[in-house]
Amino acid sequence: MYPIYTFGTEEQKRKWLPLLAQGKAIGCFGLTEPDFGSDAGGIQTKAVKDGNRYILNGTKMWITNGSIADIAIVWAKLDGEIRAFIVEKGTKGFYATDIKRKMSLRASVTSELHFEDCAVPEENILPGAKGLKSALMCLNQARYSIAWGAIGSAVASYEAALQYARERIQFGKPIASFQLVQKKLVWMLTEITKAQLMMYHLARLKDEGRIKHTQISMAKMNNVSMALEIARVARDIHGANGITLDYPPIRHLLNMEAVNTYEGTYDIQTLIIGRDITGFQAFR
């Protein structure tokens, strides 16, 4: 919704935003390509103006909801500049295939999008989306919500570990009574609390319109990494039971692996912050 809300025409907003908000239409966001992930500025998908339409050619990879979406926001280069187009499901020359055998986020569909001389009406270009900066503005919104979501994942792992530790008896006592197990639980709660406080602060800055994209990068980087590590330690507290799907931590652990990568990897967030504090960019 954000790309249409921010970069779309009034007509595009009227047509799509109510449907998307009510869940009556599903959208997807197509930026990543097989050969351009972190280096999104290099995307190869091309748009060429042809009368009153644009012709798209290229492939998008790892697109959440790609095959079930009613519309795709597709980022492509038009005369060398990155632009965004609304491509409706069923448009001739556009089809999606699902990526199989995932071990992470298995409840969510992830697809490849193919554009072969796909003709999109000229009114489907998002007029305000110009350059990589526009795509990055969208990622920024997603990173902010991911930073919150990771806390939910961490809390679920922590609560499962706490409950299990209280109930599991070894050496005649609940394992929660052992100092080493308590240390792990206390560390988890402390990390969760720190992440919650950071997000509370960032939410206030966001409400006031003062949030910086580097602060969002820090939150995404820290909170997902924290949730990943908490899921791993929670899995450890569950012993052998922890490797089964009967308990939540292993599922959170595997899911957080994908979250650590998408919308900009841990390392890319690090480089974004590194550039901000040193003045040197270390991407290349």
Q: Which residues are known to be catalytic? A: 263
- Using the contact rule CB under 6 A, the part of the chain among 125-133, 148-156, 181-189, 254-262 near ligand FAD is 254-262
CA distance 257 to 231: 10
The reply on whether position 196 binds ligand FAD by CB under 6 A is: no
The reply on whether position 115 binds ligand FAD by CB under 6 A is: no
Which positions ≥6 away from 204 have C-beta within 8 Å?
none
The reply on whether position 153 binds ligand FAD by CB under 6 A is: no
The answer to whether 167 and 219 are in contact (CB under 8 A) is no
CA distance 268 to 259: 13
CA distance 275 to 255: 29
Q: How many CB atoms lie within 10 A of CB 105?
A: 17
Name which of 228, 51, 75 is nearest 149 in CA terms: 228
The reply on whether position 255 binds ligand FAD by CB under 6 A is: no
Number of residues interacting with ligand FAD: please give it, by CB under 6 A.
Answer: 22
Q: Looking at beta carbons only, is 41 or 174 nearer to ligand FAD?
A: 41
**Of 120, 234, 258, 272, which one interacts with ligand FAD (CB under 6 A)?**
258
Binders in 82-101 for ligand FAD, by CB under 6 A: none
Q: How many CB atoms lie within 10 A of CB 251?
A: 20
Site mask for ligand FAD (CB under 6 A), range 26-65, x = bound: --xxxxx----xx-----------------------xxx-
Residues found near ligand FAD in the complex (CB under 6 A): 28-32, 37-38, 62-64, 105, 110, 258, 261-265, 267-268, 271, 283
